[in-house]
Amino acid sequence: MTETYKVQRWTSRSIVSTALIAALQFALLAAPFVFSANVVDHLTTLFVYVVLAITWNALAGYGGLVSVGQQLFFGFGAYGAIRLSQAGVPVYAALALGGVGSAVLALIVSSFMLKLRAGEFAIGMWVLAALVQLLVSLDPIIQGATGTSLLALNSFAPAARRADTYWFGLVAMAGVALLLFLLLRSRLGAAMQAIRDNEEAARSVGVRVQLAKRIMFVLAALGAGMAGAVWLATSISFQPNTYFGVQWTAYMIFMTLVGGIGTFEGPILGAVLFFAVEAAFGAEGVWYLIGIGAAAVGFALLLPQGIWGWMERRYALRLLPVGYVLKLQGVDAGRQHGFARRSVPPPPAAMRISEQS
């Protein structure tokens, strides 16, 4: 029987799942009117984790830029919000602009940080985060390690502040996720994956490597900065040691590895799982952190593609497609199903069409 091929991005399953996810996000707007204050606070925390996971995955899983210093942008987003609020900017506008400030900082430091590669880039980002933390601590407003508070939020009634912060976090999460989704489906997203796999080969076929890396770097910083601003709105207080702590990047790595690096859905699943584990075992202190670290190592060794990556390969499950699949037509159902589980091999050109290597 003659075999033909069909390149496909959207399927009936992915169309339905994308529509349901969009509907869920709109439904979540009503949460402050429906759920208790405790549930609303927990959902806001989950939004922060989702943003952190998907942006680190975009940077490392799709762009090949493994950073252990993303706490730089998380902390700077919160610091920028403090500074702008003290300058008289309305508080929620200050929070949003604080996240944008992290993107501006990333644009500046990308001019020299993106010249580093692999381990040099990872460690360099860590060092840069520590340096910025020290500089922020020297700001008289911050009062060193003591920190300060976003005092403008105290003028809001607790219920109103909780609801406004929740909506701010929801919009930030949905906006960053949509921006990433569209970018990864574009030519730039394909170029980033080509750079991840072989930077020299991508450059040789005309990919503007530095520009593509800079855009992804800035976008990841924007997400981390918005997450830091949302976290500040939930806690009000700001201490440099907390906001610039490397544990934030450790959380990002854990969520991405467990969910599935290089997939769009995986980090979202990883964020949900991390949130559930933290809610159940966070009070255990150091043992909780040891368990998180051990789980991350275990997944890296035993299930390197993560939970969603394994499900995607095993069952050809694609809910939010950012790449393409190649399907055989005119073959029996058993062979069709078996072929669909495998990733499409990348073409020799820079513009990859597979979702992950």
Q: How many whole angstroms separate alpha carbon 63 and alpha carbon 2?
A: 38
What does the pLDDT average to over 45-59?
93
Q: How many whole angstroms separate alpha carbon 133 and alpha carbon 15?
A: 44
Q: What is the DSSP string of 168-207?
A: HHHHHHHHHHHHHHHHHTSHHHHHHHHHHH-HHHHHHTT-
Is it the case that residue 52 has pLDDT exceeding 90? Answer: yes
Domain segments of the chain: what residues? 31-303
What does the pLDDT average to over 74-98?
92
Is it the case that residue 349 has pLDDT exceeding 80? Answer: no
Give the pLDDT score at 356: 40
pLDDT in tens, 286-327: 777 777 778 778 877 888 788 888 887 877 777 777 766 666
Residue 214 tokens read as: 């800079």
pLDDT in tens, 234-249: 988 889 888 998 889 8
Give the pLDDT score at 339: 37
Give the lowest-confidence range in 89-103, 108-122, 334-348: 334-348
pLDDT in tens, 257-297: 888 888 888 899 999 988 888 887 776 777 777 777 787 78
Give the lowest-confidence range in 1-5, 116-120, 166-170, 289-293: 1-5
Cα 93 to the center of its chain, rounded Å = 22
Q: What is the dihedral of CA 292, 296, 298, 300, to 10 degrees?
A: 180
Q: How many CA atoms lie within 13 A of 223 on its CB side?
A: 30
Q: What is the DSSP string of 78-111?
A: HHHHHHHHHTT--HHHHHHHHHHHHHHHHHHHHH
Greater pLDDT, 171 or 10: 171
Is it the case that residue 336 has pLDDT exceeding 60? Answer: no
Of all residues in the chain, what percent are helix, strand and coil, respectively (each to 5)? Answer: 75, 5, 25
**Residue 334 CB contacts under 8 Å (≥ 6 apart), including other chains:** none
CA distances from 11 to 4, 51, 157, 308, 340 (A): 18, 26, 46, 18, 12
**Residue 307 CB contacts under 8 Å (≥ 6 apart), including other chains:** 258, 259, 260, 266, 269, 270, 273
Contact 77, 98 (CB under 8 A): yes
Indicate the length of the chain as a whole number. 357
Highest mean pLDDT among 167-171, 187-191, 204-208: 167-171
Q: How many whole angstroms separate alpha carbon 166 and alpha carbon 356?
A: 33
Contact 223, 248 (CB under 8 A): no
Q: Where are the alpha helices (DSSP H) in 114-157?
A: 118-137
Is it the case that residue 195 has pLDDT exceeding 80? Answer: no
Q: Which residues pair with 326 in a beta bridge?
A: 7
Give the pLDDT score at 264: 84
CB atoms under 10 Å from CB of 258, counted, come to 27
Give the pLDDT score at 351: 37
Say which CATH superfamily domain 31-303 falls into: ABC transporter involved in vitamin B12 uptake, BtuC (1.10.3470.10)
Is it the case that residue 337 has pLDDT exceeding 50? Answer: no
Give the lowest-confidence range in 190-204, 210-224, 231-245, 266-280: 190-204
